Structure 1
Amino acid sequence: MPDTASSMSPTITSMIRLDHMHVLAAFHRYHADSPWWRKRAIVHSTCAALEIHAQPEEEIFYPALATVLNDDPTLSKSRPEHNEMRATIGRLRTMGPENAAYDGLFHQLMAAVMHHVADEETVLLPAAERALTSELRSLGARMTRRRLQLLGERPGEIAVNTVGTFPVATFLIASLAVLGITRCLPKVTKTPARYLL
Protein backbone atom coordinates (compact mmCIF):
# COMPACT_ATOMS: atom_id res chain seq x y z
CA MET A 1 0.00 0.00 0.00
CA PRO A 2 1.53 3.38 -0.99
CA ASP A 3 2.29 5.92 1.71
CA THR A 4 -0.43 8.61 1.49
CA ALA A 5 1.91 11.45 2.49
CA SER A 6 4.41 10.39 -0.17
CA SER A 7 1.77 10.05 -2.88
CA MET A 8 0.48 13.56 -2.13
CA SER A 9 3.90 15.19 -1.75
CA PRO A 10 5.42 17.31 -4.47
CA THR A 11 8.38 15.70 -6.13
CA ILE A 12 11.79 16.47 -4.70
CA THR A 13 12.81 18.08 -7.99
CA SER A 14 9.80 20.44 -7.86
CA MET A 15 10.71 21.39 -4.30
CA ILE A 16 14.31 22.11 -5.27
CA ARG A 17 13.18 24.26 -8.20
CA LEU A 18 10.84 26.24 -5.90
CA ASP A 19 13.73 26.79 -3.47
CA HIS A 20 15.83 28.09 -6.35
CA MET A 21 13.09 30.53 -7.37
CA HIS A 22 12.69 31.68 -3.77
CA VAL A 23 16.38 32.45 -3.28
CA LEU A 24 16.72 34.16 -6.67
CA ALA A 25 13.74 36.37 -5.78
CA ALA A 26 15.45 37.22 -2.49
CA PHE A 27 18.58 38.27 -4.40
CA HIS A 28 16.45 40.69 -6.46
CA ARG A 29 15.14 42.37 -3.29
CA TYR A 30 18.67 43.32 -2.22
CA HIS A 31 19.84 46.81 -3.21
CA ALA A 32 23.01 48.60 -2.17
CA ASP A 33 21.01 51.73 -1.30
CA SER A 34 18.50 49.92 0.94
CA PRO A 35 18.42 50.82 4.65
CA TRP A 36 20.92 48.80 6.72
CA TRP A 37 18.19 46.95 8.65
CA ARG A 38 16.50 45.77 5.43
CA LYS A 39 19.83 44.64 3.95
CA ARG A 40 20.56 42.63 7.09
CA ALA A 41 17.09 41.06 7.08
CA ILE A 42 17.34 40.09 3.40
CA VAL A 43 20.84 38.65 3.84
CA HIS A 44 19.95 36.70 6.99
CA SER A 45 16.69 35.45 5.46
CA THR A 46 18.47 34.37 2.29
CA CYS A 47 21.26 32.68 4.23
CA ALA A 48 18.77 30.74 6.37
CA ALA A 49 16.87 29.67 3.25
CA LEU A 50 20.10 28.47 1.63
CA GLU A 51 21.09 26.50 4.72
CA ILE A 52 17.65 24.92 5.07
CA HIS A 53 17.78 24.03 1.36
CA ALA A 54 21.32 22.63 1.33
CA GLN A 55 21.15 20.28 4.30
CA PRO A 56 18.23 18.10 3.16
CA GLU A 57 19.57 18.21 -0.37
CA GLU A 58 22.84 16.72 0.89
CA GLU A 59 21.14 14.23 3.19
CA ILE A 60 18.40 13.03 0.82
CA PHE A 61 18.72 14.17 -2.80
CA TYR A 62 22.43 13.76 -3.48
CA PRO A 63 22.67 10.23 -2.00
CA ALA A 64 19.62 9.10 -4.02
CA LEU A 65 21.07 10.62 -7.17
CA ALA A 66 24.48 9.07 -6.51
CA THR A 67 22.91 5.61 -6.76
CA VAL A 68 22.08 6.23 -10.42
CA LEU A 69 24.79 8.70 -11.50
CA ASN A 70 28.24 7.21 -11.20
CA ASP A 71 31.09 9.70 -10.94
CA ASP A 72 29.09 12.60 -12.33
CA PRO A 73 31.29 15.73 -12.16
CA THR A 74 28.36 18.06 -11.47
CA LEU A 75 27.17 15.93 -8.56
CA SER A 76 30.75 15.56 -7.29
CA LYS A 77 31.25 19.31 -7.04
CA SER A 78 27.85 20.04 -5.44
CA ARG A 79 28.85 19.37 -1.81
CA PRO A 80 32.07 21.42 -2.06
CA GLU A 81 30.01 24.27 -3.54
CA HIS A 82 27.64 24.04 -0.57
CA ASN A 83 30.64 24.19 1.77
CA GLU A 84 31.93 27.33 0.02
CA MET A 85 28.45 28.83 0.32
CA ARG A 86 28.41 28.06 4.07
CA ALA A 87 31.81 29.70 4.48
CA THR A 88 30.56 32.87 2.76
CA ILE A 89 27.41 32.81 4.90
CA GLY A 90 29.57 32.54 8.01
CA ARG A 91 31.58 35.59 6.92
CA LEU A 92 28.40 37.57 6.21
CA ARG A 93 27.04 36.76 9.67
CA THR A 94 30.19 38.10 11.36
CA MET A 95 29.88 41.52 9.71
CA GLY A 96 27.10 44.00 9.35
CA PRO A 97 25.78 46.08 6.48
CA GLU A 98 27.90 49.03 7.65
CA ASN A 99 31.01 47.09 6.58
CA ALA A 100 32.25 48.20 3.15
CA ALA A 101 32.73 44.55 2.12
CA TYR A 102 29.14 43.51 2.93
CA ASP A 103 27.55 44.30 -0.44
CA GLY A 104 30.40 42.72 -2.37
CA LEU A 105 30.37 39.57 -0.26
CA PHE A 106 26.62 39.16 -0.69
CA HIS A 107 27.03 39.63 -4.45
CA GLN A 108 29.78 37.00 -4.38
CA LEU A 109 27.33 34.62 -2.66
CA MET A 110 24.69 35.46 -5.28
CA ALA A 111 27.06 34.63 -8.14
CA ALA A 112 28.14 31.32 -6.60
CA VAL A 113 24.55 30.29 -5.89
CA MET A 114 23.37 31.22 -9.40
CA HIS A 115 26.16 29.09 -10.90
CA HIS A 116 25.22 26.20 -8.61
CA VAL A 117 21.50 26.57 -9.46
CA ALA A 118 22.30 26.55 -13.20
CA ASP A 119 24.20 23.26 -12.81
CA GLU A 120 21.40 21.67 -10.83
CA GLU A 121 18.66 22.89 -13.15
CA THR A 122 20.39 21.81 -16.35
CA VAL A 123 22.11 18.59 -15.24
CA LEU A 124 21.08 17.12 -11.90
CA LEU A 125 17.33 17.71 -11.82
CA PRO A 126 16.70 16.39 -15.35
CA ALA A 127 18.91 13.36 -14.55
CA ALA A 128 16.89 12.69 -11.39
CA GLU A 129 13.61 13.00 -13.30
CA ARG A 130 14.81 10.42 -15.81
CA ALA A 131 16.41 7.96 -13.40
CA LEU A 132 14.43 8.29 -10.15
CA THR A 133 10.90 8.67 -11.55
CA SER A 134 9.20 6.28 -9.12
CA GLU A 135 11.00 7.73 -6.07
CA LEU A 136 10.59 11.47 -6.64
CA ARG A 137 7.46 11.86 -4.48
CA SER A 138 8.72 9.77 -1.58
CA LEU A 139 11.99 11.72 -1.67
CA GLY A 140 9.91 14.92 -1.68
CA ALA A 141 8.03 13.75 1.41
CA ARG A 142 11.30 12.98 3.19
CA MET A 143 12.67 16.39 2.24
CA THR A 144 9.51 18.08 3.54
CA ARG A 145 9.80 16.34 6.91
CA ARG A 146 13.48 17.23 7.21
CA ARG A 147 12.87 20.83 6.20
CA LEU A 148 10.15 21.18 8.84
CA GLN A 149 12.59 19.91 11.46
CA LEU A 150 15.17 22.50 10.39
CA LEU A 151 12.60 25.31 10.30
CA GLY A 152 11.46 24.33 13.80
CA GLU A 153 14.96 24.94 15.11
CA ARG A 154 14.90 28.65 14.23
CA PRO A 155 11.36 30.06 14.07
CA GLY A 156 12.22 33.35 15.80
CA GLU A 157 15.10 34.11 13.46
CA ILE A 158 12.97 33.38 10.40
CA ALA A 159 10.05 35.48 11.66
CA VAL A 160 12.22 38.51 12.49
CA ASN A 161 14.02 38.40 9.16
CA THR A 162 10.76 38.00 7.24
CA VAL A 163 9.39 41.12 8.93
CA GLY A 164 12.52 43.05 7.97
CA THR A 165 12.52 41.72 4.44
CA PHE A 166 8.87 42.63 3.79
CA PRO A 167 8.18 45.56 6.17
CA VAL A 168 5.25 47.07 4.26
CA ALA A 169 3.53 43.72 3.67
CA THR A 170 4.07 42.75 7.31
CA PHE A 171 2.55 46.03 8.49
CA LEU A 172 -0.48 45.60 6.22
CA ILE A 173 -1.06 42.00 7.29
CA ALA A 174 -0.69 42.89 10.97
CA SER A 175 -3.08 45.84 10.55
CA LEU A 176 -5.66 43.64 8.84
CA ALA A 177 -5.31 41.03 11.58
CA VAL A 178 -5.82 43.64 14.31
CA LEU A 179 -8.80 45.09 12.45
CA GLY A 180 -10.31 41.61 12.02
CA ILE A 181 -9.81 40.74 15.67
CA THR A 182 -11.36 44.01 16.86
CA ARG A 183 -14.38 43.46 14.61
CA CYS A 184 -14.85 39.95 16.00
CA LEU A 185 -14.74 41.00 19.65
CA PRO A 186 -18.11 41.59 21.30
CA LYS A 187 -19.11 45.20 21.69
CA VAL A 188 -18.71 46.45 25.24
CA THR A 189 -21.58 48.68 26.21
CA LYS A 190 -21.31 51.21 28.96
CA THR A 191 -23.69 50.79 31.83
CA PRO A 192 -24.97 54.09 33.18
CA ALA A 193 -23.49 54.89 36.57
CA ARG A 194 -26.91 55.02 38.31
CA TYR A 195 -27.35 51.26 37.69
CA LEU A 196 -24.01 50.35 39.22
CA LEU A 197 -25.16 51.15 42.79
Structure 2
Amino acid sequence: MSSCSPSITTMIRMDHTHVMAAFHRYHAQTPWWRKRAIVELACTALEIHAQLEEEIFYPALSEVMAGDERLTKSKPEHDAMREEIAKLRAMGPQDAAYDARFRQLMREVMHHVADEETVLLPTAERALASQLSELGMRMTKRRMQLVAQHHPSAIAANTAGTFPLASLAVISLGALAIARCLRPAGARRIARDA
Protein backbone atom coordinates (compact mmCIF):
# COMPACT_ATOMS: atom_id res chain seq x y z
CA MET A 1 0.00 0.00 0.00
CA SER A 2 2.78 2.45 0.84
CA SER A 3 4.17 2.12 -2.70
CA CYS A 4 0.88 3.60 -3.96
CA SER A 5 1.18 6.68 -1.78
CA PRO A 6 3.02 9.78 -2.95
CA SER A 7 6.22 10.31 -1.01
CA ILE A 8 6.08 12.68 1.93
CA THR A 9 8.34 15.14 0.11
CA THR A 10 6.04 15.14 -2.92
CA MET A 11 3.06 15.79 -0.65
CA ILE A 12 4.84 18.67 1.09
CA ARG A 13 5.69 20.23 -2.28
CA MET A 14 2.05 19.83 -3.40
CA ASP A 15 0.91 21.59 -0.22
CA HIS A 16 3.33 24.43 -0.92
CA THR A 17 2.06 24.73 -4.50
CA HIS A 18 -1.58 24.74 -3.34
CA VAL A 19 -1.02 27.56 -0.84
CA MET A 20 1.08 29.57 -3.30
CA ALA A 21 -1.68 29.25 -5.91
CA ALA A 22 -4.19 30.58 -3.37
CA PHE A 23 -1.84 33.45 -2.48
CA HIS A 24 -1.61 34.45 -6.14
CA ARG A 25 -5.40 34.75 -6.37
CA TYR A 26 -5.45 37.47 -3.71
CA HIS A 27 -5.39 41.11 -4.87
CA ALA A 28 -6.33 44.40 -3.24
CA GLN A 29 -9.28 44.79 -5.65
CA THR A 30 -10.59 41.25 -5.04
CA PRO A 31 -14.19 41.31 -3.71
CA TRP A 32 -14.40 40.95 0.07
CA TRP A 33 -16.19 37.58 -0.02
CA ARG A 34 -13.49 36.09 -2.24
CA LYS A 35 -10.73 37.59 -0.06
CA ARG A 36 -12.26 35.82 2.93
CA ALA A 37 -12.47 32.51 1.03
CA ILE A 38 -8.84 32.76 -0.12
CA VAL A 39 -7.58 33.67 3.35
CA GLU A 40 -9.58 30.95 5.07
CA LEU A 41 -8.49 28.30 2.57
CA ALA A 42 -4.83 29.33 2.84
CA CYS A 43 -4.96 29.52 6.64
CA THR A 44 -6.62 26.13 7.04
CA ALA A 45 -4.22 24.55 4.57
CA LEU A 46 -1.25 26.07 6.41
CA GLU A 47 -2.50 24.90 9.81
CA ILE A 48 -3.00 21.34 8.58
CA HIS A 49 0.33 21.36 6.73
CA ALA A 50 2.24 22.63 9.76
CA GLN A 51 0.69 20.04 12.05
CA LEU A 52 1.50 17.25 9.60
CA GLU A 53 5.11 18.35 9.34
CA GLU A 54 5.46 18.64 13.11
CA GLU A 55 3.90 15.24 13.80
CA ILE A 56 5.43 13.21 10.98
CA PHE A 57 8.08 14.91 8.82
CA TYR A 58 10.20 16.78 11.36
CA PRO A 59 10.52 13.84 13.79
CA ALA A 60 11.69 11.57 10.95
CA LEU A 61 14.08 14.22 9.67
CA SER A 62 15.46 14.98 13.13
CA GLU A 63 16.93 11.47 13.20
CA VAL A 64 19.29 12.43 10.37
CA MET A 65 19.58 16.19 11.01
CA ALA A 66 19.72 16.28 14.82
CA GLY A 67 20.61 19.77 16.01
CA ASP A 68 20.58 21.29 12.52
CA GLU A 69 19.68 25.00 12.73
CA ARG A 70 17.40 24.90 9.68
CA LEU A 71 15.31 22.11 11.14
CA THR A 72 15.35 23.64 14.62
CA LYS A 73 13.90 26.95 13.39
CA SER A 74 11.01 25.32 11.52
CA LYS A 75 8.71 24.89 14.54
CA PRO A 76 9.15 28.54 15.72
CA GLU A 77 8.39 29.65 12.14
CA HIS A 78 5.18 27.60 12.26
CA ASP A 79 4.32 29.25 15.58
CA ALA A 80 4.85 32.72 14.08
CA MET A 81 2.63 31.73 11.15
CA ARG A 82 -0.09 30.57 13.56
CA GLU A 83 0.06 33.96 15.30
CA GLU A 84 -0.41 35.75 11.96
CA ILE A 85 -3.32 33.44 11.16
CA ALA A 86 -4.97 34.22 14.50
CA LYS A 87 -4.60 37.96 13.85
CA LEU A 88 -6.09 37.57 10.36
CA ARG A 89 -9.03 35.61 11.68
CA ALA A 90 -9.67 38.27 14.31
CA MET A 91 -10.33 40.82 11.58
CA GLY A 92 -12.30 40.85 8.36
CA PRO A 93 -11.66 41.78 4.74
CA GLN A 94 -13.22 45.21 5.37
CA ASP A 95 -10.43 46.01 7.87
CA ALA A 96 -7.80 48.37 6.40
CA ALA A 97 -4.96 46.18 7.72
CA TYR A 98 -6.33 42.91 6.29
CA ASP A 99 -4.47 43.08 2.98
CA ALA A 100 -1.17 44.00 4.67
CA ARG A 101 -1.56 41.25 7.28
CA PHE A 102 -2.21 38.63 4.58
CA ARG A 103 0.79 39.85 2.55
CA GLN A 104 2.91 39.54 5.71
CA LEU A 105 1.74 35.97 6.16
CA MET A 106 2.56 35.30 2.50
CA ARG A 107 6.11 36.64 2.97
CA GLU A 108 6.71 34.49 6.04
CA VAL A 109 5.38 31.38 4.33
CA MET A 110 7.41 31.97 1.16
CA HIS A 111 10.59 32.29 3.21
CA HIS A 112 9.75 29.07 5.09
CA VAL A 113 8.90 27.24 1.85
CA ALA A 114 12.19 28.32 0.27
CA ASP A 115 14.15 26.90 3.22
CA GLU A 116 12.24 23.64 3.12
CA GLU A 117 12.47 23.16 -0.61
CA THR A 118 16.16 24.01 -0.91
CA VAL A 119 17.48 22.26 2.21
CA LEU A 120 15.07 20.05 4.15
CA LEU A 121 13.30 18.23 1.32
CA PRO A 122 16.47 17.37 -0.65
CA THR A 123 18.10 16.17 2.59
CA ALA A 124 15.06 14.00 3.35
CA GLU A 125 15.08 12.56 -0.16
CA ARG A 126 18.70 11.46 0.28
CA ALA A 127 18.68 10.39 3.93
CA LEU A 128 15.16 8.94 4.22
CA ALA A 129 14.79 7.51 0.72
CA SER A 130 13.54 4.11 1.88
CA GLN A 131 10.93 5.68 4.19
CA LEU A 132 9.43 8.40 1.97
CA SER A 133 6.41 6.42 0.72
CA GLU A 134 5.58 5.03 4.15
CA LEU A 135 5.83 8.53 5.63
CA GLY A 136 3.63 9.77 2.78
CA MET A 137 1.02 7.15 3.61
CA ARG A 138 1.08 8.17 7.28
CA MET A 139 0.72 11.81 6.25
CA THR A 140 -2.27 11.00 4.03
CA LYS A 141 -4.06 9.15 6.83
CA ARG A 142 -3.40 11.92 9.31
CA ARG A 143 -4.45 14.60 6.79
CA MET A 144 -7.84 12.92 6.41
CA GLN A 145 -8.31 13.06 10.19
CA LEU A 146 -7.32 16.73 10.35
CA VAL A 147 -9.52 17.73 7.41
CA ALA A 148 -12.47 16.05 9.11
CA GLN A 149 -11.81 18.21 12.19
CA HIS A 150 -11.65 21.44 10.15
CA HIS A 151 -15.21 21.37 8.74
CA PRO A 152 -14.88 19.83 5.26
CA SER A 153 -17.91 21.76 3.97
CA ALA A 154 -16.19 25.07 4.84
CA ILE A 155 -13.02 23.88 3.13
CA ALA A 156 -15.05 22.97 0.02
CA ALA A 157 -16.84 26.34 0.00
CA ASN A 158 -13.57 28.23 0.41
CA THR A 159 -11.95 26.15 -2.33
CA ALA A 160 -14.82 27.04 -4.67
CA GLY A 161 -14.45 30.72 -3.76
CA THR A 162 -10.69 30.61 -4.30
CA PHE A 163 -10.61 28.48 -7.46
CA PRO A 164 -14.09 28.94 -9.02
CA LEU A 165 -13.30 27.75 -12.56
CA ALA A 166 -11.41 24.66 -11.41
CA SER A 167 -14.22 23.87 -8.97
CA LEU A 168 -16.80 24.23 -11.72
CA ALA A 169 -14.80 21.93 -13.97
CA VAL A 170 -14.52 19.25 -11.27
CA ILE A 171 -18.24 19.49 -10.46
CA SER A 172 -19.13 19.29 -14.16
CA LEU A 173 -16.95 16.23 -14.70
CA GLY A 174 -18.45 14.60 -11.63
CA ALA A 175 -21.98 15.32 -12.86
CA LEU A 176 -21.15 13.86 -16.28
CA ALA A 177 -19.70 10.73 -14.69
CA ILE A 178 -22.77 10.29 -12.48
CA ALA A 179 -25.11 10.85 -15.44
CA ARG A 180 -23.19 8.27 -17.46
CA CYS A 181 -23.40 5.74 -14.62
CA LEU A 182 -27.13 6.32 -14.16
CA ARG A 183 -27.94 5.83 -17.83
CA PRO A 184 -29.76 2.57 -18.55
CA ALA A 185 -27.47 -0.27 -19.65
CA GLY A 186 -29.05 -0.42 -23.12
CA ALA A 187 -28.38 3.25 -23.74
CA ARG A 188 -24.74 2.80 -22.69
CA ARG A 189 -24.37 -0.16 -25.07
CA ILE A 190 -25.87 1.81 -27.98
CA ALA A 191 -23.61 4.79 -27.28
CA ARG A 192 -20.55 2.49 -27.04
CA ASP A 193 -21.40 0.70 -30.32
CA ALA A 194 -22.01 3.94 -32.22
C-alpha change, 1:172 and 1:138, in structure 2 (3 Å) is closer
- 1:95 aligned partner: 91
2:25 to 21, 29, 35: 29
Over the matched positions of the two proteins, sequence identity in percent amounts to 64
CA deviations on 1:60-102 (whole Å, 9 max, x unpaired) are: 0000000111211110000000000011001111110000000
TM-score, structure 2 normalization: 0.86
Structure 1 segments unaligned to the other structure (5+ residues): 187-197
| Rg (Cα) greater in structure | 1
Query: Which consecutive aligned stretches of 4+ in structure 1 deviate over 2 angstroms post-superposition?
Result: 166-186
- 1:44 aligned partner: 40
- 1:10 aligned partner: 6
Aligned residues: 182
Q: CA deviation at 1:179?
A: 8.2
TM-score, structure 1 normalization: 0.85
Distance 1:141 1:179 in 2: 31
CA deviations on 1:8-66 (whole Å, 9 max, x unpaired) are: 11110111011111111111000110100000000000101111111011000000000
2:125 to 124, 129, 134: 129
Q: Is 1:85 matched with 2:87?
A: no
Deviates more, 1:166-175 or 1:19-28: 166-175
Q: CA deviation at 1:118?
A: 0.3
Q: CA deviation at 1:166?
A: 2.9
Q: CA deviation at 1:122?
A: 0.6
Q: CA deviation at 1:176?
A: 7.2
CA deviations on 1:118-176 (whole Å, 9 max, x unpaired) are: 00001100111111111111000000000011111221220121222234554566577
Q: Secondary structure at the match of 1:98?
A: coil
Q: Is 1:71 matched with 2:67?
A: yes
C-alpha change, 1:141 and 1:172, in structure 2 (3 Å) is closer
2:163 maps to a residue whose letter is: F
C-alpha change, 1:156 and 1:78, in structure 2 (3 Å) is same
- 2:188 aligned partner: none
Structure 2 segments unaligned to the other structure (5+ residues): 185-194
